[in-house]
Amino acid sequence: MDITIEKAQAKVPVTIIKLSGKLDATCYRDVIAKAMEIYQNGDRDLLLDLSGVDFMSSSGLVALHTTALVMQGKAPSPTEDGWSAIHALSDYVDEASGLEKHFKLLGPQERVLSTLVKTGFDQTFDIFQDREAALASFG
């Protein structure tokens, strides 16, 4: 898994994490660590670019869940909590829209998008195919 970080200026500053490779048990903690580092540096809006991810396991879903918690300033659940932690994600989304406001997804490939839909993560996160539209949605 390759992880690159970029900053973009939209209505608000947005940090973009671009992933390439498989998002699975071998690297999901690296994604969480980057999100924690970004939040600790004062960044509050994060766009996760999944366009280079060709496979995402349940560990990848844990990474998404935990990153969403981090970006809301919440204490992340231990990754060992597994699916129970993922199901609790709905406790942290905006009640008015039902979507996470500070963490959004960009460009998931068909296989990854299918996983997001099957698990209901498409109901939790804004998912964009267009980078400019994604950036404009923050703030």
- Which CATH architecture describes the domain 2-136? 2-Layer Sandwich (3.30)
pTM of the model: 0.87
Q: Between the CA of residue 73 and those of 66, 106, 117, what are the distances in Å?
A: 11, 22, 26
Question: Is residue 10 packed enough to be buried (19+ CB in 10 Å), middle (13-18) or exposed (0-12)?
Answer: middle
**How many angstroms separate the CA atoms of 53 and 47, rounded?**
14
- Domain boundary assignment for the chain: 2-136
Q: What is the pLDDT of residues 12-68, one digit of tens each?
A: 999 999 999 999 999 999 999 999 999 999 999 999 999 999 999 999 999 998 999
Question: What is the bridge-based pairing of β-strands 13-23 and 46-56?
Answer: parallel
